[in-house]
Amino acid sequence: MSSPPFPPSSHDRLLGCLIGGALGDAIGLFTEFLPKAESAQLYGSTPSLSLLPPGSHPLATPNMKAMHMDRHRGMFSPGSWTDDTDQSLLILLSWLRSGGTTLDPKDFAQRLKVWCREGLRALARPPLGLGRTVGASVHAPGWLEDPIGIAREKWESTGRVVAPNGAVMRTAIIGCLCYQDKDGVSGLDRAFFASMQLGATTHADPRCLVSCAIVSGIIVAIMRGELASEQDVRGIVTAALAFLEARPEFPDKLSENHRAELEQLYVWPSSLDQLALDERKSIGYTYKCLGSAMWALRKALEWRANGQVPDRDMFERIITDITMEGGDADTNAVVAGAIVGCYLGVQGLCYRWAVGLGEGERAGGETVGLREWLTQKGEAACVLLGISEMPAATYDPTTDHDTLLYGAEDAVALTDKEMDDMMWGKVMAGMAQRMGHADDPKYNQPVPRHSAKSKNGDCTIM
């Protein structure tokens, strides 16, 4: 197999981050919420996972493993990502709508509020996977007016112990959007601030905020071609910790214990086993998600340091290894996929997985391929950042109706009946078909409009 160009361009790295995260998310769904042992029973110890249905494509060979269907996985359409990527796209769409000028927490909050009820309207995607921490903030009175303040109040009401991964899962794209120096502020500081600010709209714990800063900072360094070693990674971690400590906008600081835990266990893990990613009481802990992404980055950097040329199998091997650990696998893999995808560039992604991404539906019923849609939005971002590889390319956010709050021109909020008929009815019908229960009456029952992604334990609620 031929190797992709390395190092990739900034353009290819942005697309690699965006699409790589979505692929990690879609593959991670294979084992989300499953123990490691059960994952191996279902797929084998070293499987070749496929988003393509068996026999549907020349790349879908008999030795490949399709997704096991149960009531959780059956709710997602074929080749689909989850809430993790949806919420990252809310950030991107907000930034695109601004013409690439700002990441506004209140605009993001408005979009997240709509998503929690109606999903990603630009692609008619239902809000599958709404986490408790996100839901508790979003549905609280006054949240739209003061999202950061209300989220902090909600965190304090838990005893200041909840530190889930629902903020870090969506933050990698910020590193791509903020990597350039601007108005005398370094790209690293811009990304630190934006990622902490947007993270704080739902997740106030400083462990969540520093996780966001580290991930966005890693992406900044990769985009700038400034990350090649463990020393570089640890430098970003140190800078993120110092940034959180110094900024009065973020009054809650890491305890010495939480700082030591981060630096000793999660910054540069040598194996996935030491992270215990399927440990039920803590599968959604923000540090575990961060740690799995850092392990993925370590593997990519070690291969490069050992003189190996990155190939298109590297991405697949790393994401498969994380997926087969089970636990909150989609969230662990979405962050790892974004980081490794950025490092390798879009041409270094697993082509077979990219082909397997499914379809969405625009307003008016137009079908669009998810990979093509992601590429369009990534190319738009590249134009605004001045890194497009198409010299004549232009982008006008005022004509991109996907960036509107409800995803289409003149669109308004759906009524409850429209939600039941147009969205949740389709979810249940699709699940029944995928599980072979199309004629079973129980699959014709409506599902809750706020499908929770519940995880047991103080530190595991998204």
Residue 460, pLDDT score: 38
**Average model confidence (pLDDT) for the chain?**
93
In a domain, 237, yes or no: yes
Give the side-chain half-sphere CA count within 13 A for 143: 24
Residue 410 CB: number of other CB atoms within 10 A?
Answer: 8
- For 204-216, the pLDDT digits (tens) are 999 999 999 999 9
- The answer to the question of residue 449 being in a domain is no
The whole-model pTM stands at 0.94
What does the pLDDT read at residue 444?
Answer: 56
pLDDT at 310: 66
> Does a structural domain hold residue 371?
yes
pLDDT in tens, 107-146: 999 999 999 999 999 999 999 988 999 999 999 999 999 9
Provide mean pLDDT across the span 339-360.
Answer: 96
- Structure tokens of 449? 């409009």
Domain interval for residue 98:
10-444
In this predicted model, which residue has the larger pLDDT, 423 or 153? 153
| Predicted confidence (pLDDT) per residue in 94-103, tens digit | 999 999 999 9
Share of the chain above pLDDT 70, in %: 94
Q: Which residue has the higher pLDDT, 221 or 458?
A: 221
Residue 110 resides in a domain: yes
Does the residue 452 lie in any domain?
no
pLDDT at 458 (0 to 100): 36
Residue with tokens 């400083």: 206
The pLDDT tens digits of the residues spanning 29-47 come to 999 999 999 999 999 989 9
- Look at residue 293 and tell me if it is in a domain: yes
| Alpha-carbon separation of residue 136 from 153, 202, 231, 259, 282 (angstroms) | 10, 8, 39, 27, 19
Q: Is 3 contained in some domain?
A: no
Per-residue pLDDT tens digits for 430-456: 888 888 865 666 555 555 544 444 443
3-state secondary structure 315-359: HHHHHHHHHCCCCCHHHHHHHHHHHHHHHHCHHHCCHHHHHHCCE
Residue 457 is predicted with a pLDDT of 35
* Three-state DSSP string of the chain: CCCCCCCCCHHHHHHHHHHHHHHHHHHHCCCCCCCHHHHHHHHCCCCCECCCCCCCCCCCCCCCECCCCCCCHHHCCCCCCCHHHHHHHHHHHHHHHCCCCCCCHHHHHHHHHHHHHHCEHHHCECCCCECHHHHHHHCCCCCCCCHHHHHHHHHHHCCCCCCECCCHHHCHHHHHHCCCCECCECHHHHHHHHHHHHHCCCCCCHHHHHHHHHHHHHHHHHHCCCCCCHHHHHHHHHHHHHHHHHCCCCCCCCCHHHHHHHHHHHCCCCCCHHHCCCCHHHCCEHHHHHHHHHHHHHHHHHHHHCCCCCCHHHHHHHHHHHHCCCCCHHHHHHHHHHHHHHHHCHHHCCHHHHHHCCEEECCCCCEEEHHHHHHHHHHHHHHHHCCCCCCCCCCCHHHCHHHCCCCCCCCCCCCHHHHHHHHHHHHHHHHHHHCCCCCCHHHHCCCCCCCECCCCCCCCCC
For residues 200 and 213, give the distance between their C-alpha atoms in angstroms, rounded to a whole number.
11
In this prediction, residue 286 has a pLDDT band, given cuts at 50, 70 and 90, of very high
d(Cα 210, Cα 78) in Å, to the nearest integer?
34
Cβ–Cβ under 8 Å, residues 24 and 32: no
pLDDT of 76 higher than 70: yes
Q: How far apart, in whole angstroms, are the C-alpha atoms of residue 195 and residue 217?
A: 9
Task: Report the domain count for the chain.
Answer: 1
More confident residue, 427 or 379: 379
Residue 450 lies in a domain: no
Separation between Cα atoms, residue 2 and residue 351, nearest integer Å: 12
Indicate the pLDDT class of residue 2, thresholds 50, 70 and 90: low
CATH code for the domain in which residue 48 is found: 1.10.4080.10
- Predicted local confidence at residue 448, as pLDDT: 52
Can you read off the two tokens belonging to residue 20? 């790589």
